[in-house]
Amino acid sequence: MTPLKTVGHPTHRVDALQRVTGGAKYTSDIKLPGMLYARVLRSPHPHARIRKIDLTKALALPGVKAILTHENCDITWGSGDQLNQRRLFNNPVRFAGDPVAAVAAINRHVAEDALHLIEVDYEVLPFLTDLEEALKPGAVAIHAGGNLSPNNQRQPVPQTYKRGNVADGLKAADRVFEDNFTSAHHNNAQLEIRVSIAEWSGDKLTVHAATQGIANCRTDIARDLKISADNVRVISEYMGGGFGNKNQCQDSDLMAAMLAKQAGAPVKLEFTRKEDFVAVHGRWSSRQSYKVGVKNDGTLTAIQMTALSGAGAYRKGSCDLSGTEIYQVPNLETSVSPVYTNTAVAANYRAPAYPQAVFGIESLMDDVAYALKMDPVEFRLKNMTRKFRDQTPYTSNGLEDCIRKGAEKFEWAKRWKPIAGSGPGPVKRGAGMAMGMFGSGLGRSSAVLRLDGQGQYHLHVGVTDVGTAAKTTMGLIAAEELGVPLEKVSVIWGDTDTCPYSVGESGSRTTVQTGMAVIEAARDLKKQIADKGAPKGAEILTAMATTNPQALQGVTRSSFAAHFAEVEVNVETGHAIVTRFVSAHDSGRVVNPLTAQSQVQGGAIQGIGMALHEELLYDKRSGLPLNAGYYGARIMTHLDAPLVDVVWVETDEPYGPFGAKTLGEPTIIPTVAAVANAIHNAIGRRIKSLPITRDKILGALSGKDVLA
């Protein structure tokens, strides 16, 4: 791979200074003149019909300026669940936390006080928290069509995929392995809570949103409020993390807009941390059943997966499960049924469909390898994907190098024990690995590049920078193509009035999609400079490019990763910690090794939390969430986090900006399975249910069935 001048060198973020001085203005830092503060009242019941809402006392409280309920605000929140026409305020309410009312007042204390003066008469309905219960005949229907959420064709049947013939493949196998795995709903838990500020000026609405995509947030708001997108401006200058839960427009954006309209003043709507855990979505749970056919030499003949995924009370995400694609196998069948229950809504969280599914298939494949007395690394090298879906060649595939170089860095041969559970003493060490892949999302993106008479370039891109250093990445790509230092490129971002359309920071696609538009704009500008000469004085040269990539024909582009974990498990207390971790990644050329390393380390550490701690627990008798907060969620802390070594496998990728492939989401995909496999290697027991908490470890060691 040819070294480049700007791309590929560790570079500080262009906004690093703002981020360390408190100068970066996040949405919650913005205060508008005359701004009101708003809070949301939520259902205390998992399932109930609202008979009556009495606002008399709340409206009488001095300082209350506007109250919305389902009676005066019938707005469909499209990106909340288009299928079921989810409203901002629903009746019936379908989970503990479903919004019932929103109040705007002169300050947040008055707004909070007003919530307690709203009198709601509920008719409590039967509720469901369990996926299997929800599918039983006679179960209370959470939506009109029943509790099995429809497939992509909107038919009330599971989402399926098939190639070859699994029955034949299982017949041809020497051995067939079957097992079940479960994973829990857990929260994105980004540090920045939901906050939206809305201000009307005549017909024109400005929303300061904490969003991952200003452009789709804008079009969503326009669609849901039935106004022209030309009249909507969305600003998101700094954004405090989302990991998928700030895609598109949020209910808070729409509520703030409607409150501002009713009150005739700007409104800042804030969710509390508790609301963020209960009423903002997390990763969907799953129940996965597998059959795997294998020859005695380790060759796979068939994989079958039948699964349920937990949509929660509404269908906000795909609820898909994607793990089996990392294996080369001629016969494959998958079936996924998203199921409604009266629990928190599930949707996108960093590689939404992947780490829980990879946990299932990679746990089972690990068992297959042990049963065949094969080294898990050798088993993966033998069976890893060489063609997408056994058919389409990859544009580049560094998975084998990820496995080999990752294993070398990790010192796999030294750390992995051929006999799981062996070793003296109560603290058992073990090593595990897993692999993963991810293709980036597609989408239209534009970039505008201007050159002024003083020789400064101005790059306008519709990114918000969710923490991935997207601004810096866009600047680096422009600088490289223009052949100028990064300082010569000013990046303008985060405002739909000053930035062209960008697909949004989801699906790990900013670098590979918006980055291509930046390159096209830079090429156009270079041509203009060659034709017309550089601008002088007040002159400005402007170039604009729009790219709208379609799926590649005859080839597939994917990023790859292999993760390696070493754990220590105390078999007397059940306490497990990760002591060593290696993430090996093929994301093509790495645009900025400094910030890319941050992402890989962060993804792995997040994944370790998913593997060991995180679950939003429900009390099955009351249908109420039990641990909605950081203490209860037990996300990773400084003390939990191991050092993560990063290994780059930079393949020669023909597509993408300077050969870059996607990175943000793959960083968490194999992590969970690698940790689970390391625990198995340490204690000689397979834990089949996420998270792998102490009680499950102790239960497995004492021989109890822990499959919840």
Partner 1 sequence: MKKISRRRFVEGTGAGIVAVAAIPEIKAQDKPIATSPSVPRTTIKLNVNGVDHRVEVEDRWTLVELLRDHLDLTGTKIGCDRGECGACTVLVDGTPLYSCSQLAVWMDGRSIQTVEGLAKNGKLDRLQQAFIDHDAPQCGYCTSGQLMIAKALLVSYEKKNAEPTRDQVRTAMTGNLCRCSNYNHYVEAVMAAVKRPTVTLDGGNA
- Name the minimum Å distance from CB 282 to partner 1: 12
Q: Are 272 and 301 in contact (CB under 8 A)?
A: no
Q: Are 13 and 471 in contact (CB under 8 A)?
A: yes
- Name the minimum Å distance from CB 202 to partner 1: 28
- Residues numbered 2-21 forming contacts with partner 1, rule: CB under 8 A: 12-13, 16-21
Using the structure block, give the residue that is written with the tokens 């996420």: 690
54 is a contact residue toward partner 1 (CB under 8 A): no
Q: Alpha-carbon distance 708 to 702, whole Å?
A: 16
- Name the minimum Å distance from CB 272 to partner 1: 7
Q: Are 331 and 301 in contact (CB under 8 A)?
A: yes
Nearer to partner 1 by C-beta: 5 or 109? 109
Residue among 7, 67, 128, 189 that touches partner 1 (CB under 8 A): 189
- Name the minimum Å distance from CB 115 to partner 1: 8
631 is a contact residue toward partner 1 (CB under 8 A): yes
192 is a contact residue toward partner 1 (CB under 8 A): yes
Residue among 78, 158, 164, 241 that touches partner 1 (CB under 8 A): 241
- Name the minimum Å distance from CB 101 to partner 1: 10
Q: Are 478 and 522 in contact (CB under 8 A)?
A: yes
606 is a contact residue toward partner 1 (CB under 8 A): yes
Give 371's strand partners: none
113 is a contact residue toward partner 1 (CB under 8 A): yes
Residue among 84, 90, 149, 190 that touches partner 1 (CB under 8 A): 190
DSSP letters, 438-479, are EPPP---EEEEEEEEETS-EEEEE-----SS-HHHHHHHHHH
Nearer to partner 1 by C-beta: 602 or 699? 602
Residue among 5, 49, 52, 57 that touches partner 1 (CB under 8 A): 57
698 is a contact residue toward partner 1 (CB under 8 A): no
44 is a contact residue toward partner 1 (CB under 8 A): yes
23 is a contact residue toward partner 1 (CB under 8 A): yes
658 is a contact residue toward partner 1 (CB under 8 A): no
Q: Alpha-carbon distance 10 to 150, whole Å?
A: 46
Residue among 332, 358, 447, 466 that touches partner 1 (CB under 8 A): 466
Query: What is the x/- site pattern for partner 1, positions 73-102, by CB under 8 A?
Result: -----------------------xx-----
Give 62's strand partners: none
118 is a contact residue toward partner 1 (CB under 8 A): yes
Q: Are 167 and 255 in contact (CB under 8 A)?
A: no
582 is a contact residue toward partner 1 (CB under 8 A): no
Of 261, 217, 215, 208, give the one whose Cα is nearest residue 28.
208
Only segment of 118-126, 479-487, 552-560, 571-579 that touches partner 1 (CB under 8 A):
118-126
Of 345, 349, 323, give the one whose Cα is nearest residue 190.
349
491-530 per-residue burial string, b: 16 or more CB within 10 A, e: under 16: bebbbbeebbbbbbbbbbbbbbbbbbbbbbbbebbbebee
How far, in Å, are 94, 312, 315, 341, 593 from residue 128 at the CA level? 10, 10, 16, 5, 47
- Name the minimum Å distance from CB 301 to partner 1: 39
- Residues numbered 257-316 forming contacts with partner 1, rule: CB under 8 A: 272-274, 278
Query: What is the x/- site pattern for partner 1, positions 535-574, by CB under 8 A?
Result: ----------------------------------------
Nearer to partner 1 by C-beta: 235 or 521? 235
52 is a contact residue toward partner 1 (CB under 8 A): no
68 is a contact residue toward partner 1 (CB under 8 A): no
Two tokens, residue 417: 């024990």
Q: Say whether 30 sits in a helix, a strand or coil.
A: coil
229 is a contact residue toward partner 1 (CB under 8 A): no
Nearer to partner 1 by C-beta: 468 or 587? 468
- Name the minimum Å distance from CB 93 to partner 1: 11
Of 498, 518, 34, 505, give the one whose Cα is nearest residue 234.
498
51 is a contact residue toward partner 1 (CB under 8 A): no
Q: Are 49 and 524 in contact (CB under 8 A)?
A: no
494 is a contact residue toward partner 1 (CB under 8 A): no
CA dihedral of residues 73, 78, 84, 85 (deg, nearest 10): 30
Residue among 89, 127, 181, 238 that touches partner 1 (CB under 8 A): 238
Q: Alpha-carbon distance 50 to 243, whole Å?
A: 33
